[in-house]
């Protein structure tokens, strides 16, 4: 079965630290990858997505992610986090052309001022 | 701006009650989805619909049914609520066959408590 793994369940960082959240998927074939964020009390919203082309994808709020096909990974990065980045982050994947997404279990990020 | 709205933010129901959760989107999206979100389990797909009156089971459909009579509205029904259905329920929508424009847009969620 298709699956998405996020091994970091809760990450705590100080402001200005660098961030990397792991995401691995188990799909074969052409895959589309997404990172969503859920700020406290708010809707899930899209941070960035990868479909094809440049494996380094830039998203909103200074986030980026790198698609590494050989490692089945799509890790999320930010060079310097802010207190406002405190949120839950979800990685998701789908086979190209499939209308359904499979989500990981999420990573809760806490930024200490 | 895409808007996905859900009928209630918080709902408390008793075991055995029939529960309706409503979702409406205003972007003329073909696809609509119902998920439940539980701590440590992420989002799990309950049902989705790719057209009016069309539906497909997701990963955890047991104990749930859905209805899509109009394109903009997708309802989740708990025929006889149980305490293990206490959860946050999220509705989402997306265009069909949208290629690289594919994105699911989410509603604010309904936190359902079954006592």
Q: What is the pLDDT of residues A59-109, one digit of tens each?
A: 999 999 999 999 999 999 999 999 999 999 999 999 877 788 999 999 999
**A69 in reach of chain B (CB within 8 A):** no
Shortest CA gap A21–chain B (Å): 15
Shortest CA gap A113–chain B (Å): 25
Nearest CA in chain A to B3: A43
Rounded distance between C-alpha atoms, residue A11 and residue A21, angstroms? 9
> Please, which pLDDT band fits residue B95 given cuts at 50, 70 and 90?
confident
* Inter-chain touch A103–B103, beta carbons under 8 Å: no
Instruction: Name which CATH class applies to A4-112.
Output: mainly beta
Alpha helices for B13-96 (secondary structure H): none
pLDDT in tens, B1-51: 769 999 999 999 999 999 999 999 999 999 999 999 999 999 999 999 999
Domains of chain B: 4-96 (2.60.40.10)
Distances (CA, A) of B83 to B78, B79, B80, B112: 12, 13, 10, 10
Which residue has tokens 């980026």?
A: A64
**A39 in reach of chain B (CB within 8 A):** no
pLDDT at A18 over 80: yes
Q: Determine contact, residues A14/A38, Cβ cutoff 8 Å.
A: no
Average pLDDT of chain A?
A: 94
Domain ranges of chain A: 4-112
Rounded distance between C-alpha atoms, residue B29 and residue B101, angstroms? 12
DSSP state of B3: -
* Inter-chain touch B31–A106, beta carbons under 8 Å: no
Which of A105, A110, A25 has its CA nearest to residue A69? Answer: A25
| Coil, helix or strand at residue A85 | helix
Instruction: Give the pLDDT score at A71.
Output: 94
In a mutational test of the B interface, the residue from A9, A23, A39, A101 whose CB has the highest number of chain B CBs within 10 Å is A101
């Amino acid at each position: 079965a298709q699956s998405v793994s996020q091994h970091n369940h809760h990450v705590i960082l100080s402001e200005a630290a660098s961030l990397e959240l792991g995401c691995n998927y188990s799909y074969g074939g052409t895959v589309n990858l997404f990172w969503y964020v859920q700020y406290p009390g708010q809707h899930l919203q899209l941070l960035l997505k990868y479909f094809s082309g440049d494996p380094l994808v830039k998203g909103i709020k200074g986030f980026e992610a790198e698609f590494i096909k050989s490692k089945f990974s799509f890790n999320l990065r930010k060079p310097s986090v802010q207190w406002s980045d405190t949120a839950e982050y979800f990685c998701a994947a789908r086979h190209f052309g499939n209308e359904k997404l499979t989500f990981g279990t999420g990573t809760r990020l806490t930024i200490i001022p | 701006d895409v808007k996905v709205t859900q009928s209630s933010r918080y709902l408390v129901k008793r075991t055995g009650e029939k529960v309706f959760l409503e979702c409406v989107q205003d972007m003329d999206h073909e696809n609509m989805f119902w998920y439940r979100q539980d701590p440590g389990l992420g989002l799990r797909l309950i049902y989705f619909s790719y057209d009016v009156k069309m539906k497909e089971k997701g990963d955890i459909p047991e104990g749930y049914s859905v209805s899509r009579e109009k394109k903009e509205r997708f309802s989740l029904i708990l025929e006889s609520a149980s305490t293990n259905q206490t959860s946050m329920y999220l509705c989402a929508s997306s265009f069909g066959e949208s290629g690289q424009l594919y994105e699911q847009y989410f509603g604010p969620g309904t936190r359902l408590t079954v006592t």
